[in-house]
Amino acid sequence: MTTTIPGEPWSTGVARDGAGVASVAGVPVADLAAQHGTPAYVLDEGDLRGRASAYRRAFETAFAEIGAGVDVYYAGKAFLSLAVARWVHDEGLRVDTASGGELAIALRAGVPGAHIGLHGNNKSDDEIVTALDAGVGRIIVDSLVEIERVADLAGARGVVAPVMVRVTTGVHAGGHEYISTAHEDQKFGLSIAPTPAASEQVVAAAATSSDAGGDSPAMRGLLAVLARPELHLLGIHSHIGSQILDPSGFEVAARAVLELRAALAERTGVLVDEVDLGGGYGIAYLPGEVALDPDRIAKDVAASVAASAADVGTPLPRFSIEPGRAIVGPAGLTLYTVGTVKPVRIDDGRTRTYVSVDGGMSDNIRPALYGAAYHAEIVGRLSDAEPVLARVVGKHCESGDIVVHEVQLPGDVRAGDLLAVAATGAYGRSMASNYNQVPRPPVVAVRDGGSRVLIRRETIADLLALDEG
C-alpha cells in the first residue's frame, strides 16, 4: 500500500500540488478544513455525476445492442440528500428509496414519482400511502403479507399500485454475510426454491384462491399479486448483495429470474414487462483494488441475459439496475484532524502507531460492523519520514472504534495533521450515529474550485433539542 493520489481509491478530482498539499476539485484540503471544520465528508460532485452517467450510458448501450431497454436507479440508501438526488436525476438516473425518509428527500428534490421506486421488507402503512399518493413508479413488495397490505391500501384510495415482487435466487454474493441478501436464511424477498416456511404457506393459502401447493414462495407472491385487481404486476426484482467484484453472480441470478418469469407466463399467460437486477457493483477501497468497470459489466450482463432469455424461449423484458455504492462511494472522502499519536508494542514485537482522529465509528461504522478496509493518507503536507505501521482510530469510548485497521503513515505523523480516508461516500454519512453524543459531520460538495455545504454539521444544540427532559 503506497501513496496513490491521484487515482483510485480517491475520487477523480483529488490531486496533490508541488508542496504535497492535496486538493479536491481544485480546493486545497486545508481550505476545506478551515472553512468547514473537521471531521467532514467531502463529496466530489463532478466525480459522482461522471459515475452516474457512465453507468447509465454503459447499460443503455449494452442493452440496446441486445434489443432491450434499461433504467438505472440510484440506490439512495448509499447516501441521499436533496442535491445528490438532483444530480443523479440530472444525469438521467431514477431513484430507489428504501424508507419514507428517503422517499421524502427524492420527492422534495423534484424527482418525479414515476421515476422513484420504494423498497423495504417492512414498509409502514404511511410509507405505502405516501408512495401511492406520489404515484411512484414501483413498489417492490417483499412478502405475501405485504402484497395484501399494498393491495388493500391501493384499493382504499381507488388506485392501482405498480408492484415488483422481490425474489431471492439463492445466489450469495458480496463482501460480508450482512450485505449479501439473496441467500435463503435472511429476511429479504421470496425464495424461488420450492420449500416455503410453514408460516408463509399459511399466508399463501389465505392469499390465493388457486391451489398453490408445491409452488415456491416467489411463485406464490406473483400469483397473489395477479389475484388482486388493485395491483399491477410490473415485474420481478432480485438483489444479490453488495460490494460484488465477480460478475458471475449477477448472471446466475438473472437466469433464475428469467426462468421464473417464463414459468409464470406458462402458468398464467402473463409475461411480466420488467426485471430488476438490483445493485451491488463493487468499488475500490484500497490502492491496487480494481472496481467493476461499468462498460465491462454492462456488456457481460447484457450478453448473459440475452443468452438466458433465448434458452428460456421468452422475449426480453425491460431491465433495471440499482447501483448505490458504485455511484457515490468513490466520490466521497472523509477529512479528519489528527489529535493524538501513540506508539503501542504489539504481540509480535512490532510497534503499531495509534493515530487518533476527531471522528470515528459514529461517522463510519463499516470497519467495526463489517471489518471493512479503508485507505488513509496525510493530505495537508508531504513527508519524507520513514513510513510506520499505523492504525487510525476514532474518539469513541470503545476499542473497536477503528477507522483504518492497517495503513502505512509517515513516521512524523503528528497532532494537527489533516488525514483523509478514501472512498467513504457510500454508507458513511447514511449509517452515521450520534454515539457518545458526537454530532454528525457536515457533507460538503466540491466542484470547480469551490465548496458548499449540502448537509450542515450537527451541533450540541441539535442533540439537546431532541431531549425533552
DSSP-based three-state secondary structure for 62: helix
DSSP-based three-state secondary structure for 406: strand
Give the span between the Cα atoms of 302 and 59, in whole angstroms. 8
Told to check if 56 binds ligand LLP by CB under 6 A, we report no
Contact region for ligand LLP (CB under 6 A) — 316-324, 347-355, 413-421, 453-461? Answer: 316-324
Contact region for ligand LLP (CB under 6 A) — 2-10, 31-39, 392-400, 426-434? Answer: 426-434
DSSP-based three-state secondary structure for 161: strand
Contact region for ligand LLP (CB under 6 A) — 45-53, 157-165, 272-280, 395-403? Answer: 272-280
Told to check if 441 binds ligand LLP by CB under 6 A, we report no
DSSP-based three-state secondary structure for 231: strand
Contact region for ligand LLP (CB under 6 A) — 32-40, 107-115, 201-209, 318-326? Answer: 318-326
Give 77 or 391: the residue with its C-beta nearer to ligand LLP. 77
DSSP-assigned letters across all residues of 286-349: STT--PPPHHHHHHHHHHHHHHHHHHHT----EEEE--SHHHHTTTEEEEEEEEEEEEEE-TTS
Closest by Cα among 106, 150, 112, 111 to 132 = 150
Told to check if 279 binds ligand LLP by CB under 6 A, we report yes
Nearest distance in Å: CB 431, ligand LLP = 6
The distance of Cα 141 from the centroid of its chain, to the nearest Å, equals 19
Told to check if 324 binds ligand LLP by CB under 6 A, we report yes
Give the span between the Cα atoms of 39 and 37, in whole angstroms. 6
Put residue 445 in one of left, alpha, beta given phi > 0 → left and psi -120 to 50 → alpha: beta
Contact 25, 44 (CB under 8 A): yes
Q: Which of 47, 71, 148, 322 binds ligand LLP (CB under 6 A)?
A: 322
Contact region for ligand LLP (CB under 6 A) — 41-49, 275-283, 379-387, 448-456? Answer: 275-283
Told to check if 189 binds ligand LLP by CB under 6 A, we report no
Give the span between the Cα atoms of 1 and 347, in whole angstroms. 22
Told to check if 403 binds ligand LLP by CB under 6 A, we report no
Give the span between the Cα atoms of 317 and 89, in whole angstroms. 23
Told to check if 51 binds ligand LLP by CB under 6 A, we report no
**What's 15-43 look like in SS3?**
EECCCCCEEECCEEHHHHHHHHCCCEEEE
Q: What are the helix (H) ranges across 216-247? A: 217-226
Helix (H) / strand (E) element for 128: namely: helix 125-134
Q: Which of 16, 56, 220, 366 binds ligand LLP (CB under 6 A)?
A: 366
Closest by Cα among 364, 334, 362 to 443 = 334
Contact region for ligand LLP (CB under 6 A) — 2-10, 75-83, 102-110, 444-452? Answer: 75-83
Burial class (CB in 10 A: 0-12, 13-18, 19+), 290: exposed
Nearest distance in Å: CB 463, ligand LLP = 24
Told to check if 228 binds ligand LLP by CB under 6 A, we report no
Q: Which of 95, 179, 236, 301 binds ligand LLP (CB under 6 A)?
A: 179
Nearest distance in Å: CB 323, ligand LLP = 4
Told to check if 239 binds ligand LLP by CB under 6 A, we report yes
Nearest distance in Å: CB 154, ligand LLP = 21
Q: 2, 315, 348, 397: which one is catalytic?
A: 397
Told to check if 41 binds ligand LLP by CB under 6 A, we report no
Q: Which of 43, 52, 78, 355 binds ligand LLP (CB under 6 A)?
A: 78
Q: Which of 235, 280, 294, 394 binds ligand LLP (CB under 6 A)?
A: 280
Could you tell me the CA-to-CA distances from 380 to 12, 148, 217, 352, 390 in Å, in that order? 18, 57, 55, 22, 17
Give 10 or 427: the residue with its C-beta nearer to ligand LLP. 427
Q: Is 141 a catalytic residue?
A: no
Which residues of the shown chain bind ligand LLP in the complex (CB under 6 A)?
75, 77-78, 96, 119, 179, 181, 239, 242-243, 278-281, 322-326, 366, 426-427, 431
**What are the catalytic residues?**
397
